Amino acid sequence: MESSKELIPTKSSSAFKKQARRDQITGILFTFPAFLIIFIFGIFPIGYSIYMSLFNWQVTKGPFIGDKNYLLIFGSWWNLLVLVAGLGLFVLGFFVWTRAFQSINNGQRLAHIAGALVLILGGVIFITGWGMMYETGNKDFLNSLIVTIYYALGTVPAEIILGLVLAYILYQDIIGKEAFRIIYFLPYITPSISTAVVFQIIFSSRETSLANTIIGLFGIDPLRWRFEPKPVLNLLGFDVSGLAGGPSLALVTIIIFGIWSFVGYNTVIFLSGLGNIPKEIYEAAEMDGASKWDRFWHITIPMISPVTFYLTLIGFIGTFKAFNHIYVMRTPSAQNTVVTTSLLVFDRFYKANQYGVATAQAIVLFVIILGLTLAQNKVLGERVFYG
Amino acid sequence: MDNSTVLPTLKKDKKESPASRILGKAGLYLILIVGAVIFIFPFFWMISNSLMTLGETITRQVWPKVPQWINYKEAWDGANFSKYFINSVAVTLGTLTGLLFTSILAGYAFGRIDFKGKDILFGLFLATMMIPESVTLIPNYLLIRGNIFPLPGGTWINTYWALTVPFMANAFSIFLLRQFFAQIPNELWDAARIDGCDHLRFLVQIVMPISKAPIMTVLLFGFTASWNAFQWPLLVTTRDTWRPLMVGLYGFVQEAGPYTHWLMAGAVITIIPILIVYFLTQKQFTQGIATTGLKG
C-alpha cells in the first residue's frame, strides 16, 4: 500500500478508505473457501474430539462420564501427577546441569553435581509414576507408547545420518548426481501401500524368502521377520522377553521399511541445505589447512544444524503420526509389539467401536506430540547454529 | 578436537597423492551405488516377480524365463482394478481442482492483501499442520456420516464428496503459494490498478501466469497425497465400487494371499501413474521440496 500512495498521489482520502474497505472484503472472500474446509475438517474436530472423550460414546453418544475415559488410560490422576512431576524434575535437572551457578567459581562442577542429583530424582519419580500407571492404567496404551518410541528411535537417527552422508557425498563433484537423486527419492514418492507389499514378500517367513536367503549366506538360520514378536536381543541370545527387552524383530522389519522409504526425503533437504553454506567458508578453511574431515566436522555439521534440527522434529512428529505402512505390514502373530499409538487409536475406533475411549487416547497422543515438539525446540533449538 | 590431532591429518591431506585421491573418490561412488541398489532393488523385485509364474516366485528366481504378461491381466480382472483406477483418477482430479481454487485465492489474500484478522487466521491455518490425523479422524468420520449436522444427501459414506472435500484445502499449499505471491513486486499491482484492475483480475491475468512453478509444486504434492491416501478412504468407503486404488490393493493383498506374482502385478499397476508423473516432473518435485522444506 505504501508505494501506491506515492504513485497515485491525486487519490483523495475517501478513495483510500474505499480501497481499504474493498481490501477487507476481498481478503475475507478470498480466504473464506479455504477457511471453511480447514475449519470444518481440521479445527472443529479437535474440539469435538475433546467433547466426545467425555462421554461413554460407543457408535452413538451415550451418557456423560466426565474423566472416566482418561482414567481408563492413566488408572488415576495421581499416577499422572507423579509421572508429570518426575518429568518436570527431569527437565529442571537438565537446566541446572547446563545453566545454574555459571557465575560462581567452580560453578560448573557444582551445577553438574546438583543437576545430576535432580536428574536422578526426576528419573526415579518418573519411573515410579510409570510403574503405578502400568499397574492400574491401560497397558495396551502404555505399551503402544513404548512401541512408538522404539519405532521413532529406530528410524529417525538412522534417517538423519544416512540422509546427511548421502547428501554430503552427492554434493561433491559427482558424475550422475541427478540420477542418484532421482533414485534416492523414489521410495518416498511411491505409495507405501504398494511398496510395503514388496517388503512383505522380501521379508516373508518362508525359508526361501529373499531376506532369509541373504542371512543364510552368513550361516544364520531362517527368521520369521514380520511374524516374530520376540525382541531382537532375545534372538541374539540375550535373556530378555516382552516389550522391555527392546523392539521385536517384526518391528525392526517395519523400521527397515520406514528408513528405506524416508531417507531420500532427508537427502534432498540436506542437499539444498548444503547448497546454502557459503563456499568462502570452505575455501578459507582449506587455506588454513583444514582436512576434508575437519571441514565436514567443524563447518558442515554446525552450519547444517538448523536443517538437522528441522528434520529431526519432522521425523519425530511423523513417527507419532505414522499409520499406513505399519497397518499394512503388521501381522497377527507379531501381537502388540508393532502396535504404535496411532494404530491402537484406530483399532479402538474402527474395530472395537469405542469412540469415546479412542478420542481420549488420541488427545493424549496429541498432547504428547505437542510436548515433544516444545521440548525439542528447547533442547535442540539451543544447540542449533543459525549462521 | 584439539590442535594436536588436527595438525597431523592436515599435513597428510596436503600431500594427498593422486592415487589416494582416486581411491577416495571410488569409495564415494561405491557408497552411492550401494545406496542406489538398495533403494531401487524392491522396485526391481516387484517388476520381476510380477512377470513370473507362481512356481518361479516360490523357487525365488531372479528373472522369469518367459515374462508372464498375463499376470497383469489376471490381477486386473481378479480384483476390481478398473473400477479402483477410475475412482482414484476421479478423486485425484476433483481434489486437485478444489485444492487449487482454495489455495490460490487464500495464498493471494495472505500474500498481497491487507485485511483485519489476517495474521490470526494465517497462524491458525499453520497450526493445523501439527495436528495428528488420529485426533481429527473420528469426528470427521461422524461428520461425513451426517451424524453431527445434516449433510446434503443424508450421508456421504460411499460418495466422491467424502473422498475429495476434506482434502480440498490445506495449510501447506496456502503457505507455499503465499511465500511466492508475496515476492511479486508491488509496482505490477500499482500499474494494473491504474488500468482499472481489481484483485481478482490481477490474480487471474498477471499473478497466475507468472506463478506456474509454485502452482505446479502444489499440484504435484496434492497429486501424490491424494493418490497415496489410504486411511481415510478405507474408513469412508464400505462398498467395493467406491474404493480407490490403495484400498483396493489392500483388499486384493488380503485375498490373493500367497499368489506373489499377482500381488506384485497389482502393486506395479498402482505405482505406474505416480512413476510417470514423477519422472516427467522430478526436477520440479525435488526443487519444490527443497525450497519449501515441507512435508507433502
Compute the average pLDDT of residues B19-27: 83
Average pLDDT over residues A140-149: 94
Residue A174 to residue B246, Cβ atoms within 8 A: no
Chain B residues lying within 8 Å of A306, measured CB to CB: none
**Cβ atoms B69, B51 nearer than 8 A:** yes
Tell me if chain A has a CB within 8 Å of the CB of B197. Answer: no
What angle, 0 to 180 degrees and rounded to 10, lies between the N-to-C axes of helices A341-350 and A355-383?
160
Interface test with A, best of B130, B135, B227 (most A CBs within 10 A): B135
Specify the CATH number for the domain of residue B247: 1.10.3720.10
Average pLDDT, chain B: 86
Contact at 8 Å (CB) between B73 and B269?
Answer: no
Check CB contact under 8 Å for B39 and A292: no
Give chain B positions within 8 Å (CB) of A365.
132, 134-135
Q: Give the whole-number percent of chain B exceeding pLDDT 70.
A: 92
- Within 8 A of A41 by CB-CB distance, chain B residues are 136, 140, 143, 165-166
Radius of gyration of chain A (CA): 26
Residues of chain A neighbouring B136 (CB-CB closer than 8 A): 41-42, 45-46, 49
Share above pLDDT 90 across residues of chain B, in percent, rounded to a whole number: 50
Residue whose C-alpha is closest to residue B224's, from A128, A165, A188 = A188
Among the listed residues A282, A276, A283, A312, the one whose alpha carbon sits nearest the alpha carbon of residue A299:
A282
Residue B6 confidence (pLDDT): 44
pLDDT at A5 exceeding the cut of 50: no
Contacts of A268 in chain B (CB under 8 A): 286, 289-290
Which residues on chain A are in Cβ contact (under 8 Å) with B295?
265, 314, 318
Task: Tell me the per-residue pLDDT of A110-131, one tens digit each, with 9 for 90 and over.
Answer: 888 888 888 999 999 999 999 9
Measure in Å the smallest separation between the Cα of A118 and chain B Cα atoms: 30
- Tell me the residue range of the domain where B270 lies: 79-292
- The number of folded domains in chain B is 1
Burial (Cβ within 10 Å: 0-12, 13-18, ≥19) of residue B37: exposed
The predicted pLDDT at position A101 comes to 67
Average pLDDT, integer, range B59-65: 83
Which chain A residues contact residue B194 at CB under 8 A? 7-8
- CA-nearest of A253, A214, A221, A216 to A235 is A221
Domain assignment present for residue B49? The answer is no
Q: Range with the lowest mean pLDDT among A102-111, B47-56, B74-83, B237-246? A: A102-111
Judged by a CB distance cut-off of 8 A, whether residue B195 touches chain A is no
pLDDT given for residue B54 in this prediction: 85
Classify the C-alpha dihedral A50-A52-A53-A55 as positive or negative. Answer: positive
| Whether the Cβ atoms of residue A101 and residue A108 lie closer than 8 Å to each other | yes
Q: Does A230 or A364 have the greater pLDDT score?
A: A364
Note the Cα B49 to chain centre separation in Å: 26
Which of B49, B263, B274 comes nearest A190 by C-beta? Answer: B274
Name the pLDDT band for B3 (thresholds 50, 70, 90): very low
Q: Which residue from A minimizes the CA distance to B267? A: A194
Chain B's closest residue to A51, CA to CA, is B139
Q: Are B252 and B269 in contact (CB under 8 A)?
A: no
Mean pLDDT within A199-221: 87
pLDDT at A383: 64
Q: How high is the pLDDT of residue B257?
A: 75
* pLDDT of A34: 96
- Is residue B92 assigned to a domain? yes
Distance CA A28, CA B237 (A): 34
Q: Is B208 exposed, middle or buried (0-12, 13-18, 19+ CB in 10 A)?
A: middle
Chain B interface mutation, best of A8, A28, A41, A182, highest count of B Cβ atoms under 10 Å: A41
Mean predicted confidence (pLDDT) in A148-158:
95
Residue B178 lies in a domain: yes
A8-17, A89-98, A163-172: which is most confident: A163-172
Q: Which residue on chain B is closest to A321 by alpha carbon?
A: B132
In a domain, B39, yes or no: no
Average pLDDT over residues B72-96: 91
Residue B21 lies in a domain: no
Of residues A233 and A360, the one with the higher pLDDT is A360
Rounded to the nearest integer, the mean pLDDT of chain A is 87
> Which of A165, A186, A359 has its CB closest to that of B39?
A186
For residue B5, being part of any structural domain is answered with: no
Give A20-89 as a DSSP string.
HHHHHHHHHHHHHHHHHHHIIIIIHHHHHHHHHHTB--SSS---B-TTHHHHHHHSSHHHHHHHHHHHHH
Judged on CB neighbours under 10 Å (0-12, 13-18, 19+), A109 is exposed
Say which of B130, B165, B271 has its CB closest to residue A191.
B271
B253 falls within a domain: yes
B/e letters for A124-157, b = 16+ CB within 10 Å, e = fewer, are ebbeebbebbeeebbeebbbbbbbbbbbbebbbe
| Contact assignment for A209 to B289 by CB distance below 8 Å | no
A140-154, A235-249, B211-225, B267-281: least confident range: A235-249
Question: What's the average model confidence in pLDDT over A206-214?
Answer: 85
Is the Cβ pair A362, B58 closer than 8 Å?
no
In this predicted structure, the answer to whether residue A149 has a pLDDT above a threshold of 80 is yes
CB pairs under 8 A between A and B: 297
Confidence of residue B295 (pLDDT cuts 50, 70, 90): very low
Does pLDDT of B1 surpass 80?
no
Is A189 close to B278, i.e. CB distance below 8 A? Answer: yes
B101-110 pLDDT tens trace: 999 999 999 9
Which one is predicted more confidently, B55 or A77? A77
User: What local confidence, expressed as pLDDT, does residue B296 receive?
Assistant: 35
Q: Is the pLDDT of residue B292 over 90?
A: no
pLDDT on residue A70 = 94
Chain B residues touching residue A40 (CB < 8 angstroms): 143
Least trusted range by pLDDT, from A84-98, A214-228, B13-27, B161-175: B13-27
Please tell me the predicted confidence (pLDDT) of residue A57. Answer: 92
Q: Is residue B72 assigned to a domain?
A: no
- Which of A10, A169, A190, A313 would you mutate first to test chain B, the one with the most B CBs within 10 A? A190
pTM: 0.88
Using an 8 Å CB-CB cutoff, list chain B residues near A350.
Answer: 235
Q: Average pLDDT in the A309-337 region?
A: 89
Stretch A311-323: mean pLDDT, rounded? Answer: 88
Reply yes or no on whether the pLDDT at B62 is more than 90: no
* B68/A contact by beta carbon, under 8 A: no
- Is residue B63 predicted with pLDDT exceeding 90? no
Who wins on pLDDT, B81 or B16? B81
What's the whole-number mean pLDDT along residues B83-91?
94
**B284/B289 Cα distance (integer angstroms):** 8
- Looking at this protein, which amino acid is placed at residue A56? N
Angle separating helix axes A249-275 and A177-189, nearest 10 degrees: 140
Alpha carbon of B16: minimum distance to chain A alpha carbons (Å): 10
- Higher-confidence position of B175 and B284: B175
Q: Identify which of A343, A258, A369 has the alpha carbon closest to the alpha carbon of residue B234.
A: A343
- Is the Cβ of B19 closer than 8 Å to some Cβ of chain A? no
pLDDT for the residue A60:
87
C-alpha cell belonging to residue A314: 519432522
**CB neighbour class for B56 (10 Å; exposed up to 12, middle 13-18, buried from 19):** buried
For B231, name the nearest residue in chain A, comparing CA atoms only: A324
Q: Where are the beta strands (DSSP E) in chain A?
A: none
Whether chain A has a CB inside 8 Å of the CB on B129: the answer is no
Q: What is the pLDDT of residues A7-56, one digit of tens each?
A: 454 556 777 788 888 899 999 999 999 999 999 999 999 999 999 999 99
- What ipTM was predicted for this assembly? 0.86
Which one is predicted more confidently, A266 or B8? A266
The confidence score (pLDDT) of residue B100 equals: 96
The 3-state DSSP class for residue A218 equals: coil
Express each pLDDT in B204-246 by its tens digit.
999 999 888 889 889 988 999 999 999 999 999 999 899 999 9
